[in-house]
Structures are given as structure tokens and as C-alpha cells.
Amino acid sequence: MTGMPKEKFTENAASIMQIIYPEDVPEFMTKIRESAKSLSYFFHVFRCNTLKGTIWIEARATPNRLKDGTTQWNGFLVDITERIISEKRIQESNNRLITVMNSIDAIVYIADMETYELLFVNEDLLKAWGRDIIGQTCWKTIQSGMDGPCPFCTNHLLLDAAGNPKEVYQWEIKNSTNGKWYDCRDRAIRWIDGRMVRMEIATDITERKEAERALFESENKFRTLFSSMSEMVALHELVFDAHGKFVDYRITDCNEAYTFLTGMEKEQMIGKLGSEVYRSDPPPFLDDYAEVALTGKPNHIETFFPLFNRYLSVSIVSPEKNKFATVATDISEIKRAEKTIEEKNEELEQIIYVASHDLRSPLVNVDGYSRELEYTVDDFQKVLEKGAPGSERVETLLRLSRSGRAALNIVALDMDALLRAVLSSLDYQITTSGVQIRLSPLPSCLGDEIQITQVFSNLIGNALKFLDGRRQGVITITGAVEKGCSVYCVEDNGIGIAPEHQENIFQLFHRLNPQKTEGEGLGLTIVKQIVVRNGGKVWVRSEINQGSRFYVALPMNPHTN
């Protein structure tokens, strides 16, 4: 073992002392003295300088007290150099491993796969848990609230059927002790002492998880909004040719309202070119859309889409360059209503025209024209008799020729006379219905005689038409000057009008009981139009089953009132 001759040691056992490493001598001496004194078993490891170099020796010997009082040891000296070196190497590599594990920016622990004892935890884990947990059971200390190995333990996933380590197993978990999310990489490794252990490297991904969750929530929120919107939304991207000129657009997403409009499935549209989907090349509104997608400046178009047979109001916005979204509202109904209103207005114009020209009460006509004729004859007579100078004569003749064409001829009206004329034109109805008419003295006002006659013959005509057959009919006509207006009231004690209908009755063709009475639903519309044209107002106060009062306010006559 030492490469030295046997005699060197047989002659004097103490020769061994000469080859022990000087630093190891004191300890050796202490131990051997102790053994000699108490006759205890001698065990010691020390280094020796031999001819073969430095070696590690393990000494085991039993002491015996001899008769002469000296001590003799029987035992072995074993060269354990190899073992020491390999143990050292393991220790070094273990230290290196621990250094590496401590420098990883993650939690690392190693646990016995059988007993769940923690054999190693790195500094990150110690810091995070704030106490030393080596030697404790992993499921009791790393997790909380467990009454046995964790149900999600990955141990069984780390070894193959033959009990050999498998690949790294990666998973994510929210820790029950600190509530943080970890990305875990687990694998089975053989520990220094030969047993199989699990090593887990867990990276804190709480922030990422939070961000993911927030993103998911916002994505979810907008997705719900997107799909439940009644507006038709579609996202597109521009398609360019080899020269960089836009030639088409591609649909990248659309909502349910949009598929409903087009009558196509999402799959038939998403990823498809506008030219394919809308069967036109270039696709509809390519230039308008491209401008928004390229400049980012939003735009708005309102047009009829023959393909869908609908009027759409479309807002175009660009969420990022070369992309655009269209948000369309179906305005077909509004357009249709607008058209109806236009048509109704046109009809109304016609009616007013007819009313003011053709539906004149014959009596008023005769009366008016005969009076007009009288004046004219009078004027002619004066002009001819007096032989007025040239200019004045021409002037008068021109006025006469114009008067017939004037559409609206506002004059001071003698309302007592006007109402008497209206009543006498309705004389037949009044007599047959046995109604009682009360006409009070009325103030004068300004208006077109023919048209105002029409107004009152309509109102009194209605009063007669809607009397209540169960009682004596009474129609009262009164008037007063109020705040610069002459206000007239046609009152009846007829069937009355329910409050909810009082606004509508002035609308065109609006009738409350079409089957019960005759009429077109025109009368009150004409009344309102005429009164407004003459600078006045009309309104109603009525109580069902009691009667109605129709008020007409017209500009007062400044000379008489």
C-alpha cells in the first residue's frame, strides 16, 4: 500500500507516524491515546505520504492491554483514496448543482417520490415561503389545506413503466398557499444517494395569467357586443396587386346581424374577397373603403344596396392601416316612411289646391263674384266717366287683371256675415237634424275669405255629423279677441273625442270610426293647413260623450278691434 518494505513497519509500528501528513498527526495522536486509555475501538481516516504519493487511509483497530502495560492494536489499514476522491467529486458537482438552482429565477425543489420529503429547496423558494422547509413533507408545506398528497401531483407522470425517468412534464397551477400562478416543469432524477426524486422548477407567471385573463375578458366583452349588435358589422383588409394598387378587399370577420343581412353563412364570407361575395368586380365602394383604410379618416355613406334590396347607412372606420370596418344600419324603413311623408305632402298640396279653388261653397262663390263684378263695373265706370290721365288708368286696369290670380287674398273679414253664409249653405242638414244653432256676435279678423269660409263649413259640418242621437243637438259659435288674435269657437254637444285621439284627428285620412260615419278624414287636415297659411292656429278641447270645442285663432283686424 505504501510501496515501502514490510520491515519498516514490523520492526517499529510507530514508523507509520513518520508518513502521516504532519497536519493530520495531532488528531491521530489524540484519537490513539484515547483508544489506548479507554480501550475503545479505534477508527480514523487520515492522509499519508507514501512512495506512491498521497493516499487516504482508513484505520480500524481493536486495542489490547499487554502485561507490560503497553497497548497493542489489531486491525486494518485500508486505502480509501479512490472513494474519497469520488465522494469529493460528487460533493463538488452537488455544490455546482445547488449554485445553479439558486441562480435560476424560479422556485426549485426536490422531493422524495415515495415519502414526499423535501430534500432540497432553492433560495427563491425559501424566500417565497419565508422559512426553511427542508426535511418537511411537500404537500403539507408547499400547498395548504391538503390532507394527503396533492390530487394534481405529477409523480406518476414522471416515470415510465420500467421506473425510469421520462421527459420533462410541463403544466400550470395556481398555488393554494400564496394564490400565485406557476408554470411548472417536473422531472424525475436520480438523487446523489441513488433514490428517485422529483425535481420541480416553477416560474411565477401570475402577471402573464392576469394579463391573459384581462385580455380574455375584454375579448369576451367585445365579442358579445359585436355579435349581439343590431348594426351589421364587418371587418375587412385591403388586397393589393403586384404594383401595390388596391384591387379588392377581404372580409376578415363579421357579426350575426351581417350574416342575417347577406343571408350567407359566416364560413361563406370570412376569408373571401369582396368581389366574390358581392359578385361584382371591383367590389362595391372599393374606392371609398380604400380611402378610409389608407388615410384612417372615417367616412359615412348612405345608399341603396340592390344586392340586399335595402337602404343602408354605413359608417366606415379604420382600426389599423390597410384595414377597415363597416358598421351598417338598415334605414329602409325610414326611407320608406320618408317617401310616404313626401307622397302625403304632395297629396296634401293637391288637396289644399282643390280645397281653395274648386271646393268653394257655391253660395260664397256666387256672392263673392257678383260683388267683385259690381266693384269692377264701378271702377270701369269711374275710369271711363272721369277720363283719368293715362298712367292712373293703366294702373287700375292692371290691378283688376291681377286680382283673379292671387292665391291668398288676405282681407278684413266680417265674420258675422261669413258665418251666416256658411250656416245658410248647410241649411238643409241643420233643418233635417233639428239641431239648435246659437250664433253670438263675432269679432272681425284678417284672412282669405274663401278659405276661412271653408274652415267653418268643415267645422260646423263635423259638429252636425258627430252629434249624439240620444239628446237634442246644440251647436254654439262664439268669438272673442285675445292677445292680438280673434279666437272663434265651434262647440257641439255631440259624441266627443277621446284624449288619445285629439292630436291625430288633424292628420291626413285619420278617422276614429270609419264604418259609422261618412267622410274621408280630410276635413280637419284642410282646416289646419288653411288656418296655418292664414297665420293662425287651430286646436280642440273635447270630452268623450260630452261634446267638442274646436278653436280657430286668426290675426285680429287692427281697424275694428
Interface residues with ligand ADP (CB under 6 A) are: 462-463, 466, 492, 494-497, 505, 510-513, 519-525, 548
Q: Which is nearer to ligand ADP, 177 or 545 (CB)?
A: 545
Least distance from ligand ADP to the Cβ atom of residue 545, Å: 10
Least distance from ligand ADP to the Cβ atom of residue 521, Å: 4
Q: Which is nearer to ligand ADP, 124 or 492 (CB)?
A: 492
Least distance from ligand ADP to the Cβ atom of residue 519, Å: 2
Contact predicate 225/197, CB 8 Å: no
- As a three-state string, the secondary structure of 449-470 is HHHHHHHHHHHHHHHHHCCCCC
User: What size, in residues, is the chain?
Assistant: 561
DSSP labels, 151-182: TT--HHHHB-TTS-B-S-EEEEEE-TTT--EE
Q: Which is nearer to ligand ADP, 35 or 451 (CB)?
A: 451
Distance from CA of residue 15 to its chain's centroid?
Answer: 96
Amino acid at 257: A
Dihedral sign from CA coordinates of 139, 140, 141, 146: positive
Least distance from ligand ADP to the Cβ atom of residue 546, Å: 10
Q: Which is nearer to ligand ADP, 262 or 356 (CB)?
A: 356
Nearest to 97, CA basis, from 171, 191, 196: 191
Q: Which is nearer to ligand ADP, 203 or 425 (CB)?
A: 425
Beta-sheet strand order (sheet of 547-555): 436-439, 474-482, 485-492, 547-555, 537-543
Q: Which is nearer to ligand ADP, 268 or 433 (CB)?
A: 433
Q: Which is nearer to ligand ADP, 524 or 554 (CB)?
A: 524
Least distance from ligand ADP to the Cβ atom of residue 513, Å: 6
Q: Which is nearer to ligand ADP, 270 or 489 (CB)?
A: 489
Distance between CA atoms of residues 76 and 43, nearest Å = 10
Q: Which is nearer to ligand ADP, 510 or 533 (CB)?
A: 510
Dihedral sign from CA coordinates of 285, 287, 290, 295: negative
Q: Which residue is nearest to ligand ADP (CB)?
A: 519
Q: How far is CA 124 from CA 100, 138, 208, in A?
A: 12, 16, 19
The DSSP code for 40 is: P
Least distance from ligand ADP to the Cβ atom of residue 481, Å: 24
Least distance from ligand ADP to the Cβ atom of residue 386, Å: 50
Burial state string for 496-510 with b = 16 or more CB within 10 A and e = fewer than 16: bbeeeeeeebbebee
Q: How many helices (H) and strands (E) does the chain have?
A: 19, 20
Least distance from ligand ADP to the Cβ atom of residue 432, Å: 18
Could you tell me the maximum CA-CA distance found in the chain, to the nearest angstrom?
Answer: 192
Least distance from ligand ADP to the Cβ atom of residue 529, Å: 11
Beta-sheet strand order (sheet of 310-317): 246-254, 232-240, 323-330, 310-317, 299-305
Q: Which is nearer to ligand ADP, 158 or 522 (CB)?
A: 522
Distance between CA atoms of residues 351 and 358, nearest Å = 10
Three cell numbers, residue 123: 433560495
Q: Which is nearer to ligand ADP, 455 or 505 (CB)?
A: 505
Least distance from ligand ADP to the Cβ atom of residue 436, Å: 16
SS3 29: helix
Peptide bond into 282 cis (omega under 30): yes
Least distance from ligand ADP to the Cβ atom of residue 514, Å: 7
Show Cβ contacts of residue 141 under 8 Å, excluding neighbours closer than 6 positions: 118, 129, 133
Q: Which is nearer to ligand ADP, 374 or 520 (CB)?
A: 520
Nearest 10 degrees: Cα torsion 298, 300, 305, 309: 120
Q: Are strands 436-439 and 474-482 parallel, antiparallel or unpaired?
A: parallel
Least distance from ligand ADP to the Cβ atom of residue 502, Å: 9
